[in-house]
Amino acid sequence: MNKRESFYIFIFSILVFWAFVSNPAVADEFKKINEFNQALTSLSEQVSPAVVQVLSSAYEPSFRGITSGADLLTKRPSSGSGVIFDPAGYIVTNAHVVAGAVTVRVIISFLPDGEEEISSILKPEGDIYEAKILGVDFETDLAVLKIEANGLPYLKLADSDELEKGQLVFAFGNPLGLENSFTMGVVSSMARQLTPEDPMIYIQTDAPINPGNSGGPLINHAGEVVGINTLIYSQSGGSEGIGFAAPSNIVKNVYQQIKENGRVRRGTIGVYAQTITPVMAEGLGLPREYGVILGDVYPGGPADLAGLMAGDIILNLNLKPMENGRQFIVNTYQLRIGEMIKLDVIRGSERLSIAVPVTERSDDPQRFAELVTPENNLIPQLGLLVLELNDTFRPLLPNLRAEYGVIVAARSFEFPQYGSDLLPGDVIFGINHTPIAGLKGIKTKLAEFKAGDAVVMQVDRNGKLMYIAFEME
């Protein structure tokens, strides 16, 4: 093909393209595509400044070799994402991103007001802040961090109950350490439980989520947070279109409680709720074949004292229709201690409205945190606050395998996290074959160790025994 032929083909192509785009219908579609692109760009500019990178370091055993017979503690760096919810420096991320961390840093990639805008594609790395862990909630896999800063960009939480399957959502974060990434997908499913008995529910999305996205926000078209990206199902280790985010309504509850109290208090009204089936309805002569029935009302609990009875059919919880037992459990899971809820119920031929107070769950492992103070209960070598196991607390910890020990009540994130594998509610009753009978006993035993010594704690967790080992630094 010579130059003249090439020139004619080029001119012909231009004319064909011009004729195509000159068609009003085609031009209108191009306009819509351009508007959509601009909307996505605007969304990214709105959201990205409030999305941070979270870097943490924790200690873990590092085996030197099969024949050495010894292990060492080495620092394990990890990274994830987070989102700023308050201009004063309050940040939400996943608990597993910072669990057991000795140090936590946050990188904020934005230009403060007043600085000249940078037009280069390669942006500055951002400012690095030391972060304090205000609290961790392992049931929801959420944590709240605090950095010393003011005037930060922040995002608002949406109402996740308004989210519907098929809606567009956008995942922001730092997948595989690639900071400030942005992907798009849809809501694949709402209220997804990972196990049948799991009280926690998730938003399922096909927006690409990879390791490092954990703790970053899932965003709606308005730039509001509808969830916190938490985990993926994957056979390859990377995104396969099955990602899960903690719904914003649960995030809001956890965030506010940790911000105010340093921990999450779980509520209950003392009932066992079940889904009504057609067979159940026929056998019990119920007026409907669907909904929620109370299989049990625990004696002496708040529901019992309020007048609820086994066999009551729950119509609404705070005017929200209840369609099945799982929905009722999920909605009561979010209730706050002291809150009064209104239940509309059917009992026989009667329709009743009953107000029930929410009380603290008796088996909540976090319930010991309010009973300790750093002045009296801190074990600095472990970074833990503990209580002596006595006659007052034994009834709260059924199936104990020992009648002595100390109860892990809370963590102190200002000290080394050698006790990072311990959970609130665990009972330490032995260290290196020495029984631990109380606060004095554990302090005396730990004072014997010097740097490099092996420490092995024998622990009772929900009636099961285990060893937790580390080297004293």
pLDDT bin (cut points 50, 70, 90) of residue 106 is: very high
Mean pLDDT of 48-70: 67
pLDDT bin (cut points 50, 70, 90) of residue 242 is: confident
Give 118 or 344, the one with higher predicted confidence.
Answer: 344
Percent over 90 (pLDDT), the chain: 28
71-86 vs 127-137, strand pairing mode: unpaired
Mean pLDDT of 378-397: 84
Flag the least confident range among 17-26, 121-130, 141-150, 369-378: 17-26
pLDDT bin (cut points 50, 70, 90) of residue 64 is: very low
Percent over 70 (pLDDT), the chain: 80
> Which one from 160, 214, 239, 420 is the annotated catalytic residue?
214
Q: Does residue 65 surpass a pLDDT of 50?
A: no
159-176, pLDDT tens digit by residue? Answer: 988 899 999 999 998 888
Mean pLDDT of 315-338: 83
Mean pLDDT of 33-45: 84
Which residue ranges form the domains of the chain, and what is each CATH number? Answer: 1-114+123-264 (2.40.10.120), 267-360 (2.30.42.10), 366-471 (2.30.42.10)
> Which one from 56, 79, 137, 141 is the annotated catalytic residue?
141
**Average per-residue pLDDT in the chain?**
82
pLDDT of residue 66: 44
Mean pLDDT of 431-443: 90
pLDDT of residue 68: 44
Q: In three state form, how does the secondary structure of the chain look?
A: CCHHHHHHHHHHHHHHHHHHHHCHHHHHHHHHHHHHHHHHHHHHHHHHHHEEEEEEEEEEEEECCCCCCCEEEEEEEEEEEEEEEECCCEEEEEHHHHCCEEEEEEEECCCCCCCCCCCCCCCCCCEEEEEEEEEEECCCCEEEEEECCCCCCCCCECCHHHCCCCCEEEEEECHHHCCCEEEEEEEEEEEECCCCCCCCCEEEECCCCCCCCCCCEEECCCCCEEEEEEEECCCCCCCCCCEEEEEHHHHHHHHHHHHHHCCCCCEECCEEEEECCHHHHHHHCCCCCCCEEEEEECCCCHHHHHCCCCCCEEEEECCEECCCHHHHHHHHHCCCCCCEEEEEEEECCEEEEEEEECEECCCCHHHHHHHCCHHHHEECCCCEEEEECCCCCHHHCCCCCCCCCEEEEEECCCCCCCCCCCCCCCEEEEECCEECCCHHHHHHHHCCCCCCCEEEEEEEECCEEEEEEEECC
Q: What is the amino acid identity at position 271?
A: V
pLDDT bin (cut points 50, 70, 90) of residue 461 is: confident
358-370, pLDDT tens digit by residue? Answer: 987 766 666 677 6
pLDDT bin (cut points 50, 70, 90) of residue 231 is: confident
Q: Does residue 415 surpass a pLDDT of 80?
A: no
pLDDT bin (cut points 50, 70, 90) of residue 384 is: confident
Q: Check if 453 is active-site.
A: no
pTM: 0.69
Residue 313's DSSP bridge partners are: 293, 346
Q: Does residue 148 surpass a pLDDT of 90?
A: yes
Please give the span between the terminal C-alpha atoms of the chain, in angstroms, as a whole number. 77
Q: Check if 127 is active-site.
A: no
pLDDT bin (cut points 50, 70, 90) of residue 307 is: very high
Give 19 or 163, the one with higher predicted confidence.
Answer: 163
Q: Does residue 127 surpass a pLDDT of 80?
A: yes
> Which one from 96, 137, 206, 420 is the annotated catalytic residue?
96
Flag the least confident range among 2-16, 44-58, 200-214, 450-464: 2-16
Q: Check if 189 is active-site.
A: no
Give 122 or 178, the one with higher predicted confidence.
Answer: 178
- Which single residue is written with the structure tokens 């709105």? 46
pLDDT bin (cut points 50, 70, 90) of residue 93 is: very high
